[in-house]
Chains A and B, each alone.
Chain A
Amino acid sequence: MFNSSLRQLGAVLRAKKISSVELTQLYLDRIARLNPALNAYITLDQEKSLAQARAADERLANGDATDLTGIPIAQKDIFCARGWLTTCGSKMLHNFVSPYDAHVISQFNDAGAVNLGKTNMDEFAMGSSNETSYYGAVKNPWDESRVPGGSSGGTAAAVAARLCAAATGTDTGGSIRQPAALCGISGLKPTYGVVSRYGMIAFASSLDQAGPMGRSAEDLALLLNTMAGFDERDSTSLQRDREDYARDLAQPLDGLRIGLPREFFAEGLSSDVAQAVEAAIAEYKKLGATVVEVSLPNSGLSVPVYYVLAPAEASSNLSRFDGVRYGHRAPDYGDLADMYEKSRAQGFGAEVKRRIMIGTYVLSHGYYDAYYLQAQKIRRLIAQDFTDAFRQCDVIMGPTSPSTAFKLGEKSDDPVQMYLSDIYTIAVNLAGLPGMSIPCGFGADNMPVGLQIIGNYFGEARMLNAAHQYQLATDWHSRTPQGCKETT
Chain B
Amino acid sequence: MTWEIVIGLEVHAQLSTNSKIFCGASTAFGAEPNTQADAVSLALPGVLPVLNRGAVERAIKFGLATGAHIAPRSVFARKNYFYPDLPKGYQISQFDLPVVGNGALAIHVPASGKQAAYEKTVRITRAHLEEDAGKSLHEDFHGMTGIDLNRAGTPLLEIVSEPDMRSAAEAVAYAKTLHTLVRWIGICDGNMQEGSFRCDANVSVRHPGGELGTRREIKNLNSFRFLEQAINYEAQWQINTLENGDAIHQATVLFDPDSGETRMMRSKEEAHDYRYFPDPDLLPLDIAPQWIEEVRATLPELPQAKQARYVGELSLSAYDAGMLTASREMADFFETVLAAVPKDAKLCANWIIGELNAQLNRDGLDMAQCPITPQQLADILKRITDSTISNAGAKEVFRTMWDAMLKRGEFNSIIISAPSPQISASGSSNLTDVDAIIEARGLKQVSDSGAIEKIVDEIISANADKVAEYRSGKDKLFGFFVGLAMKASKGKANPAQLNDILKRKLNG
Contacts and interface: CB of A to CB of B under 8 A. Distances in A.
A112 B43 CA distance: 29
A346 interface: no
B284 to A, nearest CB: 11
A363 B273 CA distance: 9
B147 interface: yes
Interface string B29-44: 0000000000100111
Interface of chain B, helix or strand or loop or mixed? loop
Interface in A381-436: none
A425 B364 CA distance: 70
Interface stretch (B79-87, B238-246, B334-342): B79-87
B282 interface: yes
Given A205-B280, A316-B275, A364-B275, A235 B88 contact: no
Contacts of B87: 320, 324-325
B84 A99 contact: no
Contacts of B89: 316, 318-320, 322
Contacts of A202: 45-46, 281
A102 B49 contact: no
A319 B273 contact: no
Interface residues of B, number: 29
Nearest to B45: A201
B273 A99 contact: no
Given A235-B51, A325-B42, A325-B43, A319 B281 contact: no
Interface in B409-443: none
Given A235-B282, A363-B275, A316 B78 contact: yes
B358 interface: no
Q: What secondary structure prevails in chain A residues at the interface with B?
A: loop
B283 interface: yes
Interface string A328-371: 00000000100010000000000000000000100111001000
A316 B80 contact: yes
A235 B46 contact: no
A199 interface: yes
A290 interface: no
Contacts of B47: 198-199
A38 B277 CA distance: 40
Given A198-B47, A202-B46, A235-B49, A313 B147 contact: no
A222 B147 CA distance: 45
A232 interface: yes
A234 B48 contact: yes
B50 interface: yes
Contact of A235 (B43, B48, B145, B147): B48
A320 B273 contact: no
Contacts of A86: 45
A365 B88 CA distance: 21
A108 B392 CA distance: 78
Interface of B: 39, 42-51, 78, 80, 82, 84, 87-90, 145, 147, 273, 275-277, 280-283
Given A313-B280, A320-B43, A320-B89, 6 more contacts: A235-B48, A313-B277, A319-B90, A325-B147, A364-B275, A368-B276
